[in-house]
Amino acid sequence: MSEKLQAIKTAVENGKVKVVAGLVEEALAAGEGAKEILNEAMIGAMSVVGEKFKNNEIFVPEMLIAARAMKKGVEVLAPALKDAGSEPIGKLIIGTVAGDLHDIGKNLVAMMIEGAGFEVLDLGVDVPTEKFVDTLKEDPSIQIVALSALLTTTMPAMKDATDALNAYRKETGRKLKILVGGAPITQAYADEIGADGYSEDAASAAELAKKALADLKAGK
């Protein structure tokens, strides 16, 4: 890893909120790729933070400060990660399921899907199941719902949301795709709860959303 990426990684790990944005700007100006900065330096730092938390070397406040530092960095990276878009190709809603407050991954997914040309409505974190269904009822132009969960304890809330969305789809005959993701989620779990698609990371989530839209257009 280059010195510049290492400096960002260390700053995020240590929750240096004030310096991260500047370091990311410097790295971009020096020609480092936005994806490398995100994946190697920032997501890499969050893996270290998660590991330290698991081993009781750090606690929730440190984890929170690292998350804030990452968010600052992502703000600077966002324009470089998004492609210049024109007319939206489709409309998607996204949210972290009930009981779950993690939003860094969900925000990245939203950003990449927006970059792929979608209009994205972000419902935020700790989203009650009814909110997903009510939003669909209010806006008939939404074609895709993306759900994020980061905790094993909120996986059942993802199943609840998927159940409710499947029931709504059956009841109304509305054409809709349900996509899921998040660290504890797997393709097997997505299949088990009746989701239409799963992706492991933000870049593949954008590909998945495009495929879901193509399937809808093909009547699948």
Cα–Cα distance between 20 and 46 in angstroms, integer? 14
Report the length, in residues, of the chain: 220
Q: Does 186 bind ligand B1M (CB under 6 A)?
A: no
Q: Pick from 109, 136, 190, 212: which binds ligand B1M (CB under 6 A)?
A: 109
Per CB under 6 A, 178 contacts ligand B1M: no
Task: Kindly state whether residue 53 participates in binding ligand B1M, applying the rule CB under 6 A.
Answer: yes
Residue 90 CB partners (closer than 8 Å, separation 6+) = 117, 118, 119, 143, 144, 209, 213
Contacting ligand B1M (CB under 6 A), which of 32, 40, 103, 196? 103
Nearer to ligand B1M, 23 or 113 (CB): 113
Q: How far apart are CA 158 and CA 181, in angstroms?
A: 10
| Backbone angles phi and psi of 187, in degrees to 5 | -60, -40
Find the binding residues for ligand B1M in span 127-156 (CB under 6 A). 146, 148, 150-153
How many C-beta atoms lie closer than 10 Å to residue 201's C-beta? 14
The answer to whether 201 contacts ligand B1M (rule: CB under 6 A) is yes
Residues making contact with ligand B1M (CB under 6 A): 43, 46-47, 49-50, 53-54, 60, 63-64, 67, 99-106, 108-109, 146, 148, 150-153, 179-184, 199, 201-202, 205
